[in-house]
Amino acid sequence: MAELILAPGKERSVMRRHPWIFAGSVAKLAGRSKPGDTVEVFTEHGKLMGRAAFSPASQIRARMWSFDPAESIDHGFFKRRVATSVARRATHPHLAGQDGLRLIHGESDGLPGVIADRYGQVVVLQLTSAGAEKWRDAIVAGLVQATGCTCVYERSDSDVRKLEGLEPCTGVIFGEMPEGPLVISENGVRMEVDVAGGHKTGFYLDQRDNRFLTGQLSAGRSVLNCFCYTAGFSLQALAGGATGVLSIDSSGPALETAQRNLALNPQLDASRAEWREADVFEALRSLRTEERKFDLIILDPPKFAPSAAHAQRAARAYKDINILGFRLLNPGGILTTYSCSGGIGLELFQQIVAGSAVDAGVDARIIHRLGAGPDHPVGLAVPEGEYLKGLVCQVD
């Protein structure tokens, strides 16, 4: 096993149990190691800190598998980690009975580069690091054993793999996909999931609890859902008693799926649903020209700032849509606004939303702060994992 020697002073983050070792923190690699191989991590003084996965193509040169110098990294290690991660979800009361669930959340579950989402009997696996790729078979075996699933489908097609020197990889890797559309039930609402071509692993599981809250806030209110994708927020709003829901997205295929989702729920009043295929920024301006007003507005845009380098440009986009959103609210109306951009922290996001309210000429207050659900935990040593942030603001 090769030895990765840390540069002077660079052991501090490892001592704090942060799993990433950047290229600039490495003094040298003693011995040979291929991408994904396990290396022993030593301080400059020869103290063994644990074992990590080596990734020569990435700026994150190694990711810690274990901070226990005595722990072996083998098939048994991954089966134990997978089983522990799955068991955490099984004992959480808020996750009971959910068809759609994140089973493994990367670094926060001690498995850097591993994402696994469950949709009924199908588990969708995403491997984004060289180390995760190296242990693919052990991870799949662990998932099958821990869940009893009938199919594991791989969606390792994110751009992050390029940074690791990895090619995209998709398709069934265990069992068989069920025939016909894959449908899950989320808090009483049925939704179609496209694991092969949908966003992320087929669905935005991180917004499950926030969609449910939207439904609770929607009773007797007119609702505008922007960047609606396949209408998760819209259907929960209808289920919660919204008087009407206008859903806007620039993707025609996404809106077609959204309308199929509505048809899957005959208990919902389809006459209260309105659809608009348009650029959301332009649509918001058009709605103001049309003098439309709403009681509840949902702004859940795509990732404007994938990294801190994009933060300034992203901040302008977030401010633009939030100004427009505030201006379209009726008195007493509610704006639920989100950012999934890792390059925009919670403090900056709140500053942007506050500035948007001022520019829109409204007085508003935060009544809820939101994030991902409990199946998307954030490791205390890895604050970078807290990518989703949301604010629910009510105007006078």
The token pair at 377 is 């935990």
Residue 311 has pLDDT above 90, yes or no: no
| pLDDT tens-place string over residues 266-276 | 999 999 999 99
**Per-residue model confidence (pLDDT) at position 61:** 97
Say whether 340 is catalytic: yes
Strands 100-105 vs 60-66: parallel, antiparallel or unpaired: unpaired
Q: How far apart are CA 340 and CA 343, in angstroms?
A: 9
pLDDT, position 384: 87
Longest dimension (CA), the chain: 71
Query: Would you state the pLDDT for residue 351?
Result: 96
142 near 109, Cβ under 8 Å? no
Is the CB of residue 363 less than 8 Å from the CB of residue 357?
Answer: yes
Q: What share of the chain is helix, strand, coil (3-state, %, to 5)?
A: 35, 30, 35
Residue 323 has pLDDT above 80, yes or no: yes
Sorted by sequence, the CB contacts under 8 Å of residue 121 that are 6+ apart come out as 149, 150, 151, 178
Q: Give the number of other CB atoms < 10 A from CB of residue 322.
A: 26
| pLDDT one-digit tens code per residue, 27-43 | 999 999 999 999 999 99
Residue 307 has pLDDT above 70, yes or no: no
Q: Give the Cα separation of 361 and 354 in Å (integer).
A: 11
Number of Cβ within 10 Å of residue 250's Cβ equals: 16
- Measuring CA to CA, how many Å separate 366 from each of 261, 335, 353, 370, 396? 31, 9, 10, 11, 12
Residue 202 tokens read as 């087929």
Tell me what percent of the residues of the chain surpass a pLDDT of 70.
99
> What's the whole-model pTM score?
0.94
Residue 192 confidence (pLDDT): 97
Domains of the chain, CATH where assigned: 3-66 (2.30.130.10), 75-182 (3.30.750.80), 204-395 (3.40.50.150)
pLDDT value, residue 344: 86
Per-residue model confidence as pLDDT tens digits over 97-155 = 899 999 999 999 999 999 999 999 999 999 999 999 999 999 999 999 999 999 999 99
Question: Distance between terminal CA atoms of the chain?
Answer: 64
- Averaged pLDDT, 303-307: 71
**Predicted pLDDT at 31:** 95
CB 321 within 8 Å of CB 354: no
Residue range 164-209, pLDDT digits in tens: 999 999 999 999 999 989 999 999 999 999 999 999 999 999 999 9
Given 226, 228, 340, 393, the catalytic residue? 340
* Average of per-residue pLDDT across 24-28: 97
**What pLDDT, on the 0 to 100 scale, is given for residue 73?**
98
In 18-27, which positions are buried (b, 16+ CB within 10 angstroms) versus exposed (e)? bbbbeeebbe
Express as a percent the part of the chain with pLDDT over 90: 92
